[in-house]
Amino acid sequence: MDPEFAAALAKAGLIDSKPPPPPITAAEARIGFDTTVLKSYKAFLEPYLPPSNSYTVTDHSVPVEGGEISVRSLVPVVDDKNETFPVLVYLHGGGWTIGSVELDDYVLRGYCVRQKITIVNVEYRLAPEHPFPTAVDDCHAALKWTVSNSALLRVDLSKGFLVGGESAGANIAAALTHIARDDLFFEGQRLTGQLLCEPCVCHLAAYPESLKSKFKSMTEFTVMPPLSKEMVEKFYGWYNAPPSDPRFSPLLYPSHQGLPRAYFQAMGFDPLRDDAIVYEEVLREAGVETKVDIYPGVSHGFYYGFPGISAAAKVREDAEQGIKWLLGRESSA
């Protein structure tokens, strides 16, 4: 285990002790997360925010089936009023059940300014009130909205059109790359990259026989805080997706050819570690250009609860370098 992470877990009373039972309801999970992890995480990041006059923040309404959702755009402010930017459509994590655009908002503001990239942060509807495939459909609509509003967002899709997210958000992003590949709406304006941080890419009940032996982490790290196997299964139940539906298990799409280049992050002590490792291998074998960073000795989403340790800083820095790589701004070496 990473020494700093081990010390942080010990200080929090989470090491060498039986993990608490998962929340009974999604509402309990949201309250617990918002009042503890999210509040302290944003407080840690606030001093590192870029100057407020270096970007604009705007919340927009996007029509979706059954109502509307909100997306938050972050657009760089530069001297040249005609300058345009690449775009990242970003999908937050939280097991399809918790989280919001607030979760990664402060980190994304830094990426926006330093990388001169417009970011569209999507507030998709959450399970169990809005079960599968609502989140996928909402994010698909947001992806189309981004294309249709590129002028408003000061976006030039030819400079880079990325989709990505963390955990459940990465799961949706991976599915969207397939959906957009096959959607004629995106003809001539295809996605160019995917940012997959700690993705879930296959339901544990739907591992293909040919790959099943490679999925070891779900049994190796069943009680590793903050995400236990029991909590994974809880999230799966709230989202209520058919295990073999490729919109939930994108590993199961019959072809991965023609997908945009993919950057992965995987945590060494994560039940979902092997989702990232296996999917990266499958994409690479299908001819997709890939890059992966693996962080030994830390667990899923650890950087939200312990943002000040060195490994957490490296995850944030590497994600930004991953964006640069997806945009073709640095070599794959």
> What are the pLDDT digits (tens) for 51-68?
999 999 999 999 999 999
The amino acid at 305: G
Active-site position among 104, 138, 270, 274: 270
Only one residue has tokens 């698909």, namely 140
Can you name the CATH fold of 3-326?
Answer: Rossmann fold (3.40.50)
Query: What does the pLDDT look like over 233-255, one tens digit per residue?
Result: 999 999 999 999 999 999 999 99
The pTM assigned to this predicted structure is 0.96
- The answer to whether the CB of 170 falls within 8 A of the CB of 200 is yes
- The answer to whether the CB of 301 falls within 8 A of the CB of 231 is no
| 148 contact partners, CB below 8 Å, separation of at least 6 | none
Print pLDDT tens along the chain (333 aa). Answer: 999 999 999 998 887 656 667 788 999 999 989 888 999 999 999 999 999 999 999 999 999 999 999 999 999 999 999 999 999 999 999 999 999 999 999 999 999 999 999 999 999 999 999 999 999 999 999 999 999 999 999 999 999 999 999 999 999 999 999 999 999 999 999 999 999 999 999 999 999 999 999 999 999 999 888 899 999 999 999 999 999 999 999 999 999 999 999 999 999 999 999 999 999 999 999 999 999 999 999 999 999 999 999 999 999 999 999 999 999 987 444
Q: Which two tokens stand for residue 5?
A: 């992470």
Active-site position among 150, 167, 228, 299: 167
Opening angle at CA 105, ends 99 and 110, nearest 5 = 150
Active site residue 158: no
- The answer to whether the CB of 134 falls within 8 A of the CB of 69 is no
Active site residue 167: yes
From residue 219, how far is each of 19, 199, 226, 270, 276 by CA, in Å?
16, 17, 15, 10, 16
Q: Which two tokens stand for residue 262?
A: 């993919």
Nearest to 197 by CA among 222, 167, 230: 167
